[in-house]
Chain A
Amino acid sequence: MSGASIAVVVLLTIGVAIELACCVGVLVMDDAYDKLHYVGPAAIVGPLVIAAAIVVRASLSQAGIKALLTAGLLMVTSPVLSHATARALYIRQRDHVEPGPGGRP
Protein backbone atom coordinates (compact mmCIF):
# COMPACT_ATOMS: atom_id res chain seq x y z
CA MET A 1 0.00 0.00 0.00
CA SER A 2 1.58 3.27 -1.09
CA GLY A 3 1.79 6.45 0.91
CA ALA A 4 -0.82 8.11 -1.27
CA SER A 5 -3.27 5.27 -0.69
CA ILE A 6 -2.77 5.49 3.07
CA ALA A 7 -3.29 9.25 2.93
CA VAL A 8 -6.49 8.78 0.95
CA VAL A 9 -7.88 6.27 3.45
CA VAL A 10 -6.95 8.49 6.40
CA LEU A 11 -8.51 11.59 4.80
CA LEU A 12 -11.66 9.68 3.86
CA THR A 13 -12.00 8.32 7.38
CA ILE A 14 -11.60 11.78 8.88
CA GLY A 15 -14.09 13.29 6.44
CA VAL A 16 -16.73 10.63 6.98
CA ALA A 17 -16.26 10.80 10.76
CA ILE A 18 -16.75 14.56 10.74
CA GLU A 19 -19.91 14.29 8.65
CA LEU A 20 -21.43 11.56 10.81
CA ALA A 21 -20.55 13.35 14.04
CA CYS A 22 -22.26 16.48 12.76
CA CYS A 23 -25.33 14.45 11.82
CA VAL A 24 -25.51 13.13 15.37
CA GLY A 25 -25.09 16.69 16.65
CA VAL A 26 -28.00 17.88 14.52
CA LEU A 27 -30.08 15.04 15.92
CA VAL A 28 -29.34 15.43 19.63
CA MET A 29 -29.33 19.21 20.05
CA ASP A 30 -32.51 20.69 21.50
CA ASP A 31 -32.77 24.08 19.79
CA ALA A 32 -32.70 24.93 16.09
CA TYR A 33 -29.96 27.48 16.81
CA ASP A 34 -27.85 24.73 18.39
CA LYS A 35 -28.55 22.39 15.51
CA LEU A 36 -27.36 25.04 13.05
CA HIS A 37 -23.93 25.06 14.68
CA TYR A 38 -23.36 21.50 13.54
CA VAL A 39 -24.08 22.24 9.88
CA GLY A 40 -20.98 24.46 9.68
CA PRO A 41 -18.25 21.83 10.16
CA ALA A 42 -20.20 19.37 8.03
CA ALA A 43 -20.32 21.86 5.14
CA ILE A 44 -16.81 23.27 5.49
CA VAL A 45 -14.34 20.84 7.06
CA GLY A 46 -15.82 17.55 5.84
CA PRO A 47 -16.05 18.38 2.10
CA LEU A 48 -12.62 20.02 2.21
CA VAL A 49 -11.00 16.90 3.67
CA ILE A 50 -12.75 14.66 1.16
CA ALA A 51 -11.79 16.98 -1.71
CA ALA A 52 -8.22 16.78 -0.44
CA ALA A 53 -8.45 12.99 -0.61
CA ILE A 54 -9.64 13.25 -4.21
CA VAL A 55 -6.78 15.61 -5.06
CA VAL A 56 -4.28 13.21 -3.49
CA ARG A 57 -5.71 10.43 -5.64
CA ALA A 58 -6.34 12.28 -8.90
CA SER A 59 -4.02 15.29 -8.49
CA LEU A 60 -5.22 18.54 -10.03
CA SER A 61 -6.99 16.90 -12.93
CA GLN A 62 -10.58 17.60 -13.95
CA ALA A 63 -11.82 15.51 -11.02
CA GLY A 64 -9.58 17.20 -8.48
CA ILE A 65 -10.45 20.70 -9.61
CA LYS A 66 -14.17 19.98 -9.61
CA ALA A 67 -13.95 18.44 -6.15
CA LEU A 68 -12.15 21.52 -4.84
CA LEU A 69 -14.67 23.75 -6.57
CA THR A 70 -17.55 21.89 -4.96
CA ALA A 71 -15.95 22.07 -1.52
CA GLY A 72 -15.30 25.79 -2.02
CA LEU A 73 -18.87 26.35 -3.11
CA LEU A 74 -20.18 24.59 -0.01
CA MET A 75 -17.79 26.64 2.10
CA VAL A 76 -19.24 29.88 0.71
CA THR A 77 -22.92 28.98 0.49
CA SER A 78 -23.42 27.17 3.79
CA PRO A 79 -22.90 30.22 6.04
CA VAL A 80 -25.33 32.17 3.85
CA LEU A 81 -27.98 29.51 4.25
CA SER A 82 -27.32 29.18 7.98
CA HIS A 83 -27.72 32.93 8.37
CA ALA A 84 -31.00 32.89 6.43
CA THR A 85 -32.29 30.00 8.54
CA ALA A 86 -31.35 31.68 11.82
CA ARG A 87 -32.93 34.92 10.63
CA ALA A 88 -36.14 33.09 9.76
CA LEU A 89 -36.26 31.53 13.23
CA TYR A 90 -35.57 34.89 14.86
CA ILE A 91 -38.39 36.55 12.96
CA ARG A 92 -40.78 33.68 13.69
CA GLN A 93 -40.10 33.95 17.40
CA ARG A 94 -40.35 37.74 17.66
CA ASP A 95 -42.50 38.61 14.64
CA HIS A 96 -40.10 41.38 13.65
CA VAL A 97 -36.43 42.21 13.18
CA GLU A 98 -34.87 44.57 15.73
CA PRO A 99 -34.08 47.95 14.13
CA GLY A 100 -30.43 48.75 13.63
CA PRO A 101 -28.60 51.97 14.56
CA GLY A 102 -29.94 53.84 11.56
CA GLY A 103 -33.48 52.61 12.02
CA ARG A 104 -32.98 50.03 9.32
CA PRO A 105 -34.07 46.44 10.02
Chain B
Amino acid sequence: MNAWLIAATVLLLGLIPCAVVMLRGSAIEALVGLQMAGVLETVVLLLLAEGFHRPAFFDLALVLALLALAGGLVFARMLERWV
Protein backbone atom coordinates (compact mmCIF):
# COMPACT_ATOMS: atom_id res chain seq x y z
CA MET B 1 0.00 0.00 0.00
CA ASN B 2 1.62 3.23 -1.13
CA ALA B 3 1.08 6.85 -0.01
CA TRP B 4 -1.54 7.47 -2.70
CA LEU B 5 -3.75 4.62 -1.57
CA ILE B 6 -3.35 5.60 2.08
CA ALA B 7 -4.38 9.16 1.23
CA ALA B 8 -7.40 7.87 -0.70
CA THR B 9 -8.43 5.69 2.21
CA VAL B 10 -8.09 8.54 4.71
CA LEU B 11 -10.01 10.82 2.39
CA LEU B 12 -12.90 8.38 2.29
CA LEU B 13 -13.46 9.16 5.98
CA GLY B 14 -14.58 12.59 4.84
CA LEU B 15 -17.68 11.02 3.37
CA ILE B 16 -19.00 10.37 6.88
CA PRO B 17 -19.64 14.08 7.70
CA CYS B 18 -21.17 14.50 4.25
CA ALA B 19 -23.51 11.57 4.89
CA VAL B 20 -24.50 13.00 8.28
CA VAL B 21 -25.32 16.36 6.69
CA MET B 22 -27.30 14.69 3.92
CA LEU B 23 -29.30 12.53 6.32
CA ARG B 24 -29.99 15.08 9.05
CA GLY B 25 -30.09 18.45 7.29
CA SER B 26 -32.68 20.19 5.16
CA ALA B 27 -32.96 19.57 1.41
CA ILE B 28 -30.58 22.40 0.55
CA GLU B 29 -28.09 21.28 3.20
CA ALA B 30 -28.26 17.81 1.71
CA LEU B 31 -27.41 19.32 -1.67
CA VAL B 32 -24.36 20.98 -0.12
CA GLY B 33 -23.38 17.62 1.34
CA LEU B 34 -23.80 16.02 -2.07
CA GLN B 35 -21.63 18.69 -3.65
CA MET B 36 -18.92 18.10 -1.07
CA ALA B 37 -19.14 14.33 -1.54
CA GLY B 38 -18.76 14.76 -5.32
CA VAL B 39 -15.57 16.75 -4.84
CA LEU B 40 -14.22 14.17 -2.41
CA GLU B 41 -15.00 11.28 -4.73
CA THR B 42 -13.30 13.04 -7.62
CA VAL B 43 -10.13 13.51 -5.58
CA VAL B 44 -10.27 9.92 -4.33
CA LEU B 45 -10.48 8.69 -7.93
CA LEU B 46 -7.43 10.81 -8.81
CA LEU B 47 -5.50 9.27 -5.91
CA LEU B 48 -6.58 5.73 -6.76
CA ALA B 49 -5.59 6.16 -10.41
CA GLU B 50 -2.11 7.27 -9.40
CA GLY B 51 -1.88 4.68 -6.63
CA PHE B 52 -2.65 1.81 -9.01
CA HIS B 53 -0.46 3.28 -11.80
CA ARG B 54 -3.35 3.28 -14.28
CA PRO B 55 -3.40 6.55 -16.24
CA ALA B 56 -6.63 5.52 -17.96
CA PHE B 57 -8.42 5.68 -14.60
CA PHE B 58 -7.92 9.46 -14.53
CA ASP B 59 -10.74 9.66 -17.05
CA LEU B 60 -13.13 8.49 -14.34
CA ALA B 61 -12.27 11.48 -12.16
CA LEU B 62 -12.62 13.81 -15.11
CA VAL B 63 -16.05 12.44 -16.04
CA LEU B 64 -17.22 12.49 -12.43
CA ALA B 65 -16.23 16.16 -12.10
CA LEU B 66 -18.38 16.96 -15.14
CA LEU B 67 -21.35 14.81 -14.12
CA ALA B 68 -21.33 16.14 -10.55
CA LEU B 69 -21.84 19.62 -11.99
CA ALA B 70 -24.73 18.47 -14.16
CA GLY B 71 -26.40 16.55 -11.36
CA GLY B 72 -25.94 19.35 -8.85
CA LEU B 73 -27.43 21.92 -11.22
CA VAL B 74 -30.46 19.72 -11.83
CA PHE B 75 -31.00 19.27 -8.09
CA ALA B 76 -30.54 23.00 -7.43
CA ARG B 77 -33.03 23.92 -10.14
CA MET B 78 -35.52 21.43 -8.79
CA LEU B 79 -35.12 22.62 -5.20
CA GLU B 80 -35.78 26.23 -6.20
CA ARG B 81 -39.50 25.65 -6.66
CA TRP B 82 -40.71 22.10 -6.63
CA VAL B 83 -39.59 20.44 -3.40
Using a CB–CB distance below 8 Å, which chain A residues touch chain B? Answer: 8-9, 12-13, 15-16, 19-20, 22-24, 26-27, 32, 35-36, 38-39, 42-43, 46-47, 50-51, 54, 57-58, 61-63, 66-67, 69-70, 73-74, 77-78, 80-82, 84-85, 87-89, 91-92
Contact = CB atoms under 8 A, between A and B. Distances in A.
Contacts of A9: 3
Interface of B: 3-4, 7, 10-11, 13-18, 20-21, 25-26, 28-29, 31-33, 35-36, 39-40, 42-43, 46-47, 49-50, 55, 58-59, 61-62, 65-66, 68-69, 72-73, 76-77, 79-81
Contacts of A20: 10-11, 13-14
Q: Say whether chain B's binding surface is mostly helix, strand, loop, or mixed.
A: helix
A16 B7 contact: yes
Given A39-B35, A81-B72, A82-B35, A87 B40 contact: no
12 contacts: A9-B3, A16-B7, A22-B36, A26-B18, A26-B32, A32-B29, A50-B7, A50-B47, A67-B58, A88-B31, A88-B76, A91-B80
